[in-house]
Structures are given as C-alpha cells and as structure tokens.
Amino acid sequence: MEVIIKDSKKSAGILGAKIIADVIKKKPGAVIGLATGSTPLGLYDELVRLHREEGLSFKEVTSFNLDEYVGLGIEHKCSFISEMHQNLFSKIDINNESINIPDGHAKNIPAMCSAYEEKIQNIGGIDIQLLGIGNDGHLGFNEPGSSLSSRTRLKTLSHETLQANARHFGSIEQVPRHVVTMGLGTIMAAKTCLLLAFGEDKAEAVYQMVEGAVSATWPGTILQHHQRAVVILDEAAAAKLKRRQYYNEVYAGKPDWQRWE
C-alpha cells in the first residue's frame, strides 16, 4: 500500500486526478471505477478542468460506479446516479452508454447484481477503482462484517452510515436502509485501487486500514492484500498513523520514473 500525505484536500484531489488521467492517457479505452460522497469532489473538479483545458478525453472510457441506494434513481437528487451526472458526467465527454451504476430500481436485484459483475468481467476488468472510506471503515457500502471476498449484492446500512449520510437527505428517516454495492472481492479485482480520505473523522478508519490487522470488522483493511493500492490523505486523516514519517520519506524519495508530480 502506498500512502501519500498531502497538505490539503485540494492538492490531494489534484494528484488523484493526475493518477486517473495518466491511466486514460496510456489507455484511452480505460475502465474506471468511480465513487460518490464528498471525498472525490475535488478530484472530479480537476478531471473536468483537465478535460476542458488540457483536452483529456473520456470518449472511449467506460465507468462503473461502486454503489447505489435501492429505490432511488436519476429522479432523486440524492441518488448516486444523479450525483455523478451533476458532479462529473455532464461536464465531460463520456458516452452515456459507457456509464454503469447499479440500478436502484431493479425489480430483480440478484439478477442485476450478477449482470453488473458479468459486465465488468466481460470488458476485461476495472483498470483503476476510485474509493473513499466511511467513518466505520466501509468501502463502497461494504459495512463492517462484510465478506472480504464479496461480490456485487444487496446490503443493509449500519446505523453509523445512516447517520453519516442523513446530511444529504435532511433526516435519518429518509435515508434508504438498503443499497446495492460492489463487493470487496469486486473492488480487489481492480488493477489499481486509489483511495482518498480527508478530515479527522476518517483518522481511525484510515489507521485501521493502513496499520491495523486485516479484518471484516474494518473492511478497508482488505486493501492491505491489494497488489497496487494508493492511498492519498490530508494531514487530519493521517493523524493516527504511526509510520507517518516513513510514508513521507518514501514519497519524497521516489525515483523520477515513479513520480506523478
């Protein structure tokens, strides 16, 4: 796991966007896994800037989002599909038919989940998966206790996540209890995982993910088994890491050919 600690959310988002842009420049038809929540917003703004000002094209890119609320679709402002359109898709040149998000209105949820997995496999897998992390350590909506090799499926949100996401809906009662999420096994199959985390509320989950024991109790810890996981933090999210100084030394001493910036 590569841990990069930046001095601000903004510089972390810019670096994250650069890493994704590099994947697309090397492979214009890249398959990108995307995430929602407040964490990736700065990264999305930078991707939009790279598209508008530096000609980065998403025409051949295919995207797969991590998760969606059951019962919500594009008509609901808190659905992940509408969030994604608002924050990214409407501002870049990605083709509508290349956008994939679990269908919150699916009548047959298990069939939709299997088809989602099949589509990812048939296209050759995800080249880079963007991730945030929940305060309780969840990736996507894989709550504590999720199978470490799970695939796309229905999950029930924990009270902690319902509370954390109530800010978007107005009250906890309005947050859907059920969601569909890529599994931890789905995420682990991505060639690269790129996780961003900001703020002191994430410090414990980040500590567990990077330096804790691998356990379904902290789902993010599964990334310790990933062969190419890059974690970009701000100082507050990195505050509980014991090997902070070492991560900084590693990043500062990277050979030029490994550098993004």
Residues that bind ligand GLP (CB under 6 A): 35-39, 66-67, 132-134, 140-141, 161, 165
138 an active-site residue?
yes
Tell me whether residue 201 or residue 249 sits nearer to ligand GLP (CB atom): 201
Question: Which whole-number Å values give the CA distances from 27 to 55, 107, 114, 161, in the listed order?
Answer: 15, 35, 27, 36
Q: How far is the CB of 121 from ligand GLP (least distance, A)?
A: 22
Tell me whether residue 87 or residue 161 sits nearer to ligand GLP (CB atom): 161
Q: How far is the CB of 67 from ligand GLP (least distance, A)?
A: 5
Tell me whether residue 16 or residue 140 sits nearer to ligand GLP (CB atom): 140
> Which is catalytic among the residues 67, 68, 83, 103?
67
Q: How far is the CB of 16 from ligand GLP (least distance, A)?
A: 13
173 an active-site residue?
no
Tokens describing residue 193: 């995982």
Question: Which whole-number Å values give the CA distances from 147 to 33, 57, 125, 151, 184, in the listed order?
Answer: 20, 36, 20, 9, 7
Q: How far is the CB of 260 from ligand GLP (least distance, A)?
A: 22
Q: What is the DSSP string of 167-200?
A: HHHSSGGGS-SEEEE--HHHHHTSSEEEEEE-SG
> What CA dihedral angle connects 6, 10, 15 and 18, to 10 degrees?
180
> Which is catalytic among the residues 46, 103, 127, 138?
138
Q: Is 73 exposed, middle or buried (0-12, 13-18, 19+ CB in 10 A)?
A: middle
143 an active-site residue?
yes
Q: Report the residue closest to ligand GLP, judged by CB.
A: 132
Residues annotated as catalytic (active site), given as ranges: 67, 136, 138, 143
